[in-house]
Structure 1
Amino acid sequence: MKTTEIRDLIDFISKSGLNEVNIETKELKLSVKREPDQKVFKSTPVMTQAAVAPVAAVAPAATPALAPKAETAAPVAAGKKTVEIKSPMIGTFYRSSTPDTPSFVQVGDKVSKGQTVCIIEAMKLFNEIESEVSGTIVKAMIENASPVEYDQVLFVVEPD
């Protein structure tokens, strides 16, 4: 592993809010830890691999060719306030926990604060992304199984 890759990994870990990550390959064994009381930007809870192990076995099988297109609704009426749900990390966006299950949310669905709206896979960890606001999904910005960047808009919500 190159020094730049290790730096990128450490940056990713600090932005994700994780306190410990262990990576082991044939050539490398890497363990990164930090003190839990350090301040980190964290917009949503991050689940560990152990908590979502059943998902890990199935979700990577999704292929972009078979993925449904991102849904869009009619433009939001002028004057209505909307809130964006953004990606807290770099990874792969999944609308459901497995390819055979329905999406967590669809355009037009009501969501409540803390409700899971999608999963983002990053380094074989599946992180449930929760809504930070209660309201109605008015626009889905990302297609299933697509790569996402840090702070990229995933959904647009019209608050209640």
Structure 2
Amino acid sequence: MDLKEIQNLIKFVSNSGVAEVKLETGDIKITIRTTLEGNSPDITYVQQAPMQQPMAAVAPQVPLAVSTAAPVAAATDENSKYITIKSPMIGTFYRKPSPDKPMFVEVGSSINKGDVLCVVEAMKLFNEIEAEISGKIVKILVDDMSPVEFDQPLFLVDPS
């Protein structure tokens, strides 16, 4: 739908006396609202639906931030013996390298220094996050395909 068609649609709706019209075609959504008194101007919202992007090749590895400080306030004393592995960047957290591959790690998995734990996608680059310690995964704190913040806890690891 081009700009001329949208302008014609706005004129038609304002002349028809209809208060609101919603139109969805493919990846474009248009909402046109008018007032019956005609005191305020027409409001037009045009949104383009996000497109599904295929997963790209994995980018260079990024070192993992490991915190030995006190765990998150919501954690109990029971969790204080574990090391929290945090996200080194803002992005989208993925537990597997691609949709058809198995998870990198599960709860109970033994990990060694240098093992890939997850992928964080930032600006279309897929960064492998490696373990900087050896141990056992006790808890995975983030759901697959969830957005993560910088320094957000991702895993609890028992180093013993």
TM-score normalized by the length of structure 2: 0.52
Paired AA for residue 122 in structure 1: A
Paired AA for residue 137 in structure 2: I
Distance 1:99 1:82, change over 3 A: same
The answer as to whether partners of 1:135 and 1:159 remain within 8 angstroms in 2 is yes
- Alignment length, in residue pairs? 91
The answer as to whether partners of 1:80 and 1:158 remain within 8 angstroms in 2 is no
For residues 50-92 of structure 1, the C-alpha deviation after alignment (integer angstroms, 9 at most, x for no partner) is xxxx95169xxxxxxxxxxxxxxxx999487210110000000
Q: Quote how far apart the aligned CAs of 1:100 are.
A: 1.1
Structure 2 CA distance, aligned partners of 1:79 and 1:144?
Answer: 22
Alignment of 1:24-103 (within 5 A): 56=56, 78=78, 81-103=81-103
- Please list every run of 5 or more consecutive structure 1 residues that lacks an aligned counterpart in the other structure: 1-53, 59-74
Alignment of 1:15-26 (within 5 A): none
2:116 is matched with 116
Larger Rg, first or second structure (1 or 2): 2
Paired AA for residue 86 in structure 1: K
The alignment partner of 1:99 has SS state of coil
Structure 2 CA distance, aligned partners of 1:136 and 1:77?
Answer: 18
1:134 is matched with 134
Identity fraction in percent: 57
Structure 2 CA distance, aligned partners of 1:79 and 1:93?
Answer: 22
Structure 2 CA distance, aligned partners of 1:117 and 1:79?
Answer: 20
- Structure number with the higher helix fraction is 1
The answer as to whether partners of 2:57 and 2:126 remain within 8 angstroms in 1 is no
Structure 2 CA distance, aligned partners of 1:77 and 1:117?
Answer: 25
1:146 is matched with 146
Give me the CA root mean square deviation: 2.6
- Please list every run of 5 or more consecutive structure 2 residues that lacks an aligned counterpart in the other structure: 1-53, 59-74
Where relative contact order (Cα < 8 A, 6+ residues apart) is larger, the structure is: 1
TM-score normalized by the length of structure 1: 0.52
